[in-house]
């Protein structure tokens, strides 16, 4: 099982690095739908037992991807209730219901994102300079929407990993949005030009930290000191509705490297994500509104309590 979880973790991290969290979630649901179509089972009950193993593996990846866990918990609830009501349902009937339920989850996900973008229209960006760093598709879509709505602004892209940076500038160029690129370690030279910052995240945890792209923490902390308004774009389906563990949520990789010119070997330590405190943000854009950090925390606590009550009814 441990090797299985490690393989799954590597796969999730690679896809999330290349495509982002929401696309990773969409691909996971698509893959699961294909699996259901091709799976042969004797009964729905047998499938439910196998699904428990998959859910436990998804809950154990490093890092945990809350939006995937959220959708698979909803799937498990549906399967559990279906099994309770119809224990003898033939597999061919059950799998059609499961496939339909996955489609409903995908529609809900698209609806949540659309609602978030509707809220983003309220942001006054006219004439401002917006700093972005991560490759959040939600941030890219929000910028494109504001531009289509007629607001004109300048974007500064904090340069990082070349693949991510190129993905960001391709999206900006595709929407004809004005932008400049500045290396992330040289942002102090443009501090005065920046009016607001836009960020996305992988998840929000019970310890009041967002899990974000590596490098985000330093940039956000720098501009927090200068009291620059910083927006987080996140749907509540990305909440990590479990108790956060110390140092959990960030994967580290150690490997040995050699100096290019001299016989010197050294250990290089690389991290998958950053943790950034909630209080570093001034506004959080969700599908239900643009809220303050304190209001966002209350939304999280309410959903956490609801999930805890719901989990007590499930047999896992």
Parent domain of 280: 119-303
Give the mean model confidence (pLDDT) for residues 17-28: 86
Same domain, 79 and 198: no
Same domain, 139 and 279: yes
Whether 51 is covered by a domain: the verdict is: yes
Q: Render pLDDT for 264-275 as a digit per residue (tens, 0 to 9).
A: 887 877 677 799
Whether 75 is covered by a domain: the verdict is: yes
Domain stops at, among 66, 101, 117:
117
* pLDDT over 70, % of the chain: 93
Same domain, 288 and 157: yes
> Cα angle vertex 275, ends 273, 281, to 5°?
125
User: Which residues have a Cβ under 8 Å from the Cβ of 213 and sit 6 or more positions away?
Assistant: 133, 134, 135, 160, 164, 273, 274
Q: Are strands 252-258 and 203-204 parallel, antiparallel or unpaired?
A: unpaired
pLDDT-based confidence at 311, cuts 50/70/90? low
Q: Render pLDDT for 85-117 as a digit per residue (tens, 0 to 9).
A: 888 888 888 889 999 999 999 999 999 999 999
Whether 153 is covered by a domain: the verdict is: yes
Whether 316 is covered by a domain: the verdict is: no
235 three-class SS: coil
CATH (domain of 185): 3.40.50.10470
Phi-psi region of 99 (alpha: psi -120 to 50; beta: other; left: phi over 0): alpha
Whether 308 is covered by a domain: the verdict is: no
Give the mean model confidence (pLDDT) for residues 300-314: 77
pLDDT-based confidence at 252, cuts 50/70/90? low
Whether 136 is covered by a domain: the verdict is: yes
Give the mean model confidence (pLDDT) for residues 64-93: 87
Separation CA 172–CA 223 (nearest Å):
23
* Residue 249 reports pLDDT greater than 70: no
Distances (CA, A) of 276 to 126, 210, 214, 280, 283: 28, 5, 10, 7, 14
Q: Render pLDDT for 171-198 as a digit per residue (tens, 0 to 9).
A: 999 999 999 999 999 999 999 999 999 9
For residue 277, what pLDDT is reported? 97
* Residue 313 reports pLDDT greater than 70: no
Domain stops at, among 51, 83, 117:
117
Whether 314 is covered by a domain: the verdict is: no
Rg (CA), the chain: 21
Same domain, 43 and 137: no
* Domains held by the chain: number: 2
Same domain, 79 and 196: no
């Amino acid at each position: 099982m441990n090797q299985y979880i490690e393989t799954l973790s590597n796969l999730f991290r690679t896809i999330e690095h290349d495509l982002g969290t929401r696309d990773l979630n969409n691909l996971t649901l698509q893959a699961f739908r294909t699996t259901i179509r091709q799976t042969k089972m004797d009964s729905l009950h047998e499938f439910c037992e196998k699904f428990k193993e998959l859910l436990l593996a998804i809950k154990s990846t490093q890092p945990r991807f809350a939006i995937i866990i959220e959708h698979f918990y909803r799937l498990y609830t549906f399967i559990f209730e279906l099994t309770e009501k119809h224990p003898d349902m033939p597999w061919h009937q059950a799998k059609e219901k499961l496939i339909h339920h996955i489609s409903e989850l995908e529609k809900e996900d698209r609806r949540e994102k659309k609602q978030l973008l509707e809220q983003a229209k309220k942001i006054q960006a006219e004439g401002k300079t917006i700093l972005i760093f991560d490759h959040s598709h939600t941030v890219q879509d929000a910028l494109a929407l504001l531009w289509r709505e007629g607001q004109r602004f300048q974007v500064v892209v904090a340069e990082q990993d070349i693949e991510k940076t190129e993905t960001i500038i391709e999206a900006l160029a595709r929407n004809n949005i004005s932008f400049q690129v500045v290396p992330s370690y040289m942002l102090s030279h443009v501090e005065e030009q920046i009016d607001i910052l836009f960020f996305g995240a992988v998840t929000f945890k019970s310890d009041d930290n967002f899990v974000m792209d590596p490098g985000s923490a330093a940039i956000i902390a720098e501009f927090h000191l200068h009291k620059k308004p910083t927006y987080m774009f996140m749907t509540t389906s990305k909440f990590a509705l479990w108790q956060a563990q110390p140092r959990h949520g960030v994967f580290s990789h150690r490997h040995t490297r050699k100096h290019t010119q001299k016989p010197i070997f050294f250990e290089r330590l690389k991290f998958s994500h950053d943790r950034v405190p909630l209080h570093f943000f001034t506004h959080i854009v969700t599908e239900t509104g643009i809220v303050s950090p304190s209001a966002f925390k209350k939304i999280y606590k309410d959903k956490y309590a609801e999930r805890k009550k719901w989990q007590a009814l499930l047999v896992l």
